[in-house]
Amino acid sequence: MPESPPVEGIRRFEGETALVTGSTRGIGEEIAKRFAREGANVVVTGRTRADGEETVAAIDAAGGTATFVRADMRDPDDIAALVEATAEKYGGLDVLVNNAGVETNTAADEATMDDWAFVVETDFRSYWLCAKHAREHMDEGSIVNVSSNHARLTMPAMFPYNAVKAGIDGMTRSMALDFGPDVRVNTVNPGWVAIGRTMEELDEEYRDHLESIHPVGRIGTPEDIAGVVSFLASSDAAFVTGASLVADGGRTVVMQDDSLPDYRKRREDGED
């Protein structure tokens, strides 16, 4: 799988502060590292201190600036304290990336009230509360909500995850109106991304199949998503707000898989 190109000399967030929720691993970790490489002071947060401190250590070792603040996104008091700690530590807040998320793999007729609360409070309510508190510390700024391509197309037994992801797109539009003109708010909708949790569930044959049905010839990387997030948060996207940008290698343009060429083979043949 081709790696995303390294970022050399791009410092779009020099001296700014970025708070990234759910940033102790996976996509969130790479988003935090990307902002640090581009000059931001980064607040890493999650429930597991050891993982968070490991992410901070990696950022520090690469020459970046980061700190870890433990917070549970299901706890409104933790969220308020997290934002306050960020503003106090670095004197303000310029970028919020709402990324923390969970899923239950339940169908709409199987999900329980506990399933509903677990996903809605983590993936949806926390986005609103983080943004609400962050707005108080932003003179100008940007909020990026990480959703999913499940907001548009989905699969069985993904409820209420898919419903919440669609809701995030709507919340982004509301925030763009209510927080403008000083704060821009956008959504990134990732598709298949190669993170540890996802890859552990796939055998090699199915992974090859997935790559073959993506028009770009591969599934995504956390770095791919981090690049999209940093773009939307930066001044390069100064005229973009209320948008939902799908970053899924073209999967949402596919109507019927059995009509597709093998894009992975095309890529391999081209490399030969």
CA distance 42 to 16: 9
pLDDT digits (tens, 9 = 90+) for 11-27: 999 999 999 999 999 99
Q: Which of 270, 236, 222 is nearest to 20 (CA)?
A: 222
pLDDT digits (tens, 9 = 90+) for 213-263: 999 999 999 999 999 999 999 999 999 999 999 999 999 999 888 888 889
Residue 117: partners with Cβ closer than 8 Å, 6 or more residues away: none
pLDDT at 271 (0 to 100): 55
Which of 90, 127, 161, 263 is the catalytic position?
A: 161
Single-letter amino acid, residue 227? G
pLDDT digits (tens, 9 = 90+) for 3-62: 444 456 689 999 999 999 999 999 999 999 999 999 999 999 999 999 999 999 999 999
Q: Which domains does the chain have, with CATH numbers?
A: 17-202+220-256 (3.40.50.720)
pLDDT digits (tens, 9 = 90+) for 141-181: 999 999 999 999 999 999 999 999 999 999 999 999 999 99
191 compared with 202, residue with greater pLDDT: 191
Which whole number is the average pLDDT over 72-76? 97
Q: pLDDT band at residue 199, thresholds of 50, 70 and 90?
A: confident
* Residue 206 is a catalytic residue: no
Q: What is the pTM of this model?
A: 0.93
CA distance 100 to 43: 14
Q: What is the dihedral of CA 226, 184, 41, 222, to 10 degrees?
A: -10
